[in-house]
Amino acid sequence: MRLSPFLLGAVALLPTTVLCQLSGKVGPLTTRAAKTAKKTCNVLNYGAKADKATDLGPPLAAAWAACKTGGTVVIPSGNYAMKTWVTLKGGSAWALQLDGVIYRTGTDGGNMIFIGATDDFELFSSTGKGAVQGNGYEIHAQGSRSGARILRLNKVTNFSVHDVVLVDAPAFHFSLDTCTNGEVYNMAIRGGDWGGLDGIDVWSNNIWIHDVMVTNKDECVTVKSPSKNILIENIYCNSSGGCALGSLGADTAISQVHYKNVYTWKSNQMMMIKSNGGSGYVEDVVFENFIGHGNAYSLDVDQYWSSMSTIAGNGVQLSNLTFKNWKGTEANGAQRGPVKVFCADGAPCTDITITDLAMWTETGSKQTYSCRSAYGSGFCLKAGTSKSYAAITSTVTAAPAKYSAATMAGDLKTAFGTTVSIPIPTIPVSFYPGATPYSKIAGS
């Protein structure tokens, strides 16, 4: 783990279990002060203009070329237009300081900002006000979801991304693809109220994602395959799709993932594991301290997920998954109960533990728990390990004890929709009831 001065205190207080899913240090190797002292490349000196009209793409690429070996590229405060995208591939020990706001004006697909094949990297805003406004509504209002993702990191090692805001991506907001030893924190992501506009998708190794808010209608912070040693904490899905593992296909390889302190409001689910056929495994995962309110599904393992077509294979093998301390309420527990564990008949789940889960319905006075081909302990899970079994459902008509849970003051009352501009938010001061961010929010 990166030990910056302000984190030292926090680390000393952390129980070791919090850190156990990481396999080693995360974050850049060189301080940004050292990078800035070595060389600073201000985009304004490379042709950029903070006039919300001049294309930032070429000046940003030029500033990067001059600073990519050990320096800091600076986009100072001000409003910039981005018409062409940048692929910043290579270099090392560099930083990108985004204090301005970048407005998408171009219409290409791909990635507005692609950072690849680099080591010791940091993307940050020194003020907490740096943002990319994707203006996705201009495209979504036409009924289309084609268009750019905002930010993609590929094969980046020893890095951090923090204190920046991503808004209204035409497609996904932030993907971490095949990265190692990374830290992502203090971020607000706000997208349209539509599927396909994912918040954070990660398929990587040894990554700590914490203190992040996502508003959209698809993935909040989702782990895809292959992934190992991923710690995800203090996540606020503020009217989103919710978090997930998946969707999972052939040769899935996900292990040592720990979600902790996840607050989910008016989302599709609190946590979903989604597949339909496929092969490989998901193992050694903990989902701890989840609070939900107003969600459609809560704990939802669905290995017959109807939104994906069936993939060849007996099913992804799920084993040693622990769900503990889940509280709150779901939208309608008779329609979609708080516990649904539907495993593949061809690869029944083993060693699933659901403990200290108490949730109750917001509509009516009953809710269901349902399981299929799932083994372990808690609710409708069958003991042992054996062959497939058909879905079993139990219905309860009394609220469990101690289901009530805190709400966040900032819960989004009305979704942003997809046809009008989405305002750029400030980074919230908390992402989970009672939890303070590990690192101070920049500029606060």
Ligand X SMILES: *[C@@H]1O[C@H](CO)[C@@H](O)[C@H](O)[C@H]1NC(C)=O
Active site residues: 218, 293
Stretch that binds ligand X, among 75-83, 216-224, 368-376, 404-412 (CB under 6 A): 404-412
Among 410, 433, 435, 440, binds ligand X (CB under 6 A): 410
Minimum gap (Å) between residue 427 Cβ and ligand X: 8
Q: Which stretch binds ligand X (CB under 6 A): 71-79, 366-374, 407-415, 433-441?
A: 407-415
Q: Which stretch binds ligand X (CB under 6 A): 42-50, 307-315, 362-370, 408-416?
A: 408-416
118 binds ligand X (CB under 6 A): no
Burial of 56 (0-12, 13-18, 19+ CB in 10 A): buried
Q: Which one of 29, 61, 391, 399 is in contact with ligand X (CB under 6 A)?
A: 29
CA 192, CA 175: separation in Å to the nearest integer?
A: 17
227 near ligand X, judged by CB under 6 A: no
For residue 30, the minimal CB distance to ligand X (Å) is 11
| CA atoms of 14 and 204, how far apart (whole Å) | 24
Is residue 25 near ligand X by the rule CB under 6 A? yes
Q: Which residue is nearest to ligand X (CB)?
A: 410
CA dist., res. 300 & res. 5, Å (int):
40
Closer of 194 and 360 to ligand X (Cβ): 194
Task: Name which position in 34, 253, 412, 424 contacts ligand X (CB under 6 A).
Answer: 412
240 binds ligand X (CB under 6 A): no
Site track for ligand X across 201-220, x = CB under 6 A? ------------x-x-----
By rule CB under 6 A, what string of x and - marks binding of each residue 136-165 to ligand X?
---------------------xx-------
Least distance in Å: CB of 135 to ligand X? 17
Give the residue with the Cβ less far from ligand X, 50 or 214. 214
Q: Is 388 in the site for ligand X (CB under 6 A)?
A: no
Element (H, E) at 347: none
Query: Per rule CB under 6 A, is residue 89 in the interface with ligand X?
Result: no
In this complex, which beta carbon is closest to ligand X, that of residue 154 or of residue 238? 238
- Least separation in angstroms between residue 159's CB and ligand X is 9
Q: Which stretch binds ligand X (CB under 6 A): 38-46, 66-74, 298-306, 405-413?
A: 405-413
Q: Is 428 in the site for ligand X (CB under 6 A)?
A: yes
Instruction: Provide the CA 22 distance to its chain's centre, in angstroms.
Output: 17
Can you tell me whether residue 202 is helix, strand or coil? strand
Q: Judged by CB under 6 A, how many residues of this single chain contact ligand X?
A: 19
Site for ligand X in 251-310 (CB under 6 A): 256, 284, 286
Which listed residue (160, 227, 238, 361) binds ligand X by CB under 6 A?
A: 238
DSSP collapsed to 3 states, the chain:
CCCCHHHHHHHHHCCHHHHCCCCCCCCCCCCHHHHHHHCEEEHHHHCCCCEEEEECHHHHHHHHHHHCECCEEEECCCEEEECCCEEEECCECCEEEECCEEEECCCCCCEEEEEEEEEEEEEECCCCCCEEECCCHHHHCCCCCCCCEEEEEEEEEEEEEECCEEECCCCCCEEEEEEEEEEEEEEEEECCCCCCCCCEEEEEEEEEEEEEEEECCCEEEEECCCEEEEEEEEEEEECCCEEEEEEECCCEEEEEEEEEEEEEECCCCCEEEEEEECCEEEEEEEEEEEEEEEECCCEEEECECCCCCCECCCCCEEEEEEEEEEEEEECCCCCCCCEEEECCCCCCEEEEEEEEEEEEECCCCCEEEEEECEEEECCCCECCCCCCCCCEEEEECCCCCCCCCCCCCCCCCCCCCCCCCCCCCCCCCCCCCCCCCCCCCCCC
Asked if 424 interacts with ligand X (CB under 6 A), we say no
Q: Work out whether 90 is an interface residue with ligand X (CB under 6 A).
A: no
Q: How far is the CB of 209 from ligand X (least distance, A)?
A: 17
Among 97, 160, 181, 216, binds ligand X (CB under 6 A): 181
**In angstroms, rounded to a whole number, what is the distance separating the alpha carbons of residues 65 and 381?**
56
Applying CB under 6 A, which of residues 320, 335, 353, 388 lies at the interface with ligand X?
Answer: 320
Q: Interface with ligand X includes 119 (CB under 6 A)?
A: yes
d(CA 187, CA 125): 10
Looking at the Cβ atoms of 242 and 333, the one nearer to ligand X is 242
Bridge-based pairing state of the strands 131-133 and 200-215: unpaired
Of the candidate spans 167-175, 270-278, 358-366, 406-414, the one that interacts with ligand X by CB under 6 A turns out to be 406-414
Q: Which residues contact ligand X by CB under 6 A?
A: 25, 29, 119, 157-158, 181, 213, 215, 236, 238, 256, 284, 286, 320, 408, 410, 412, 425, 428
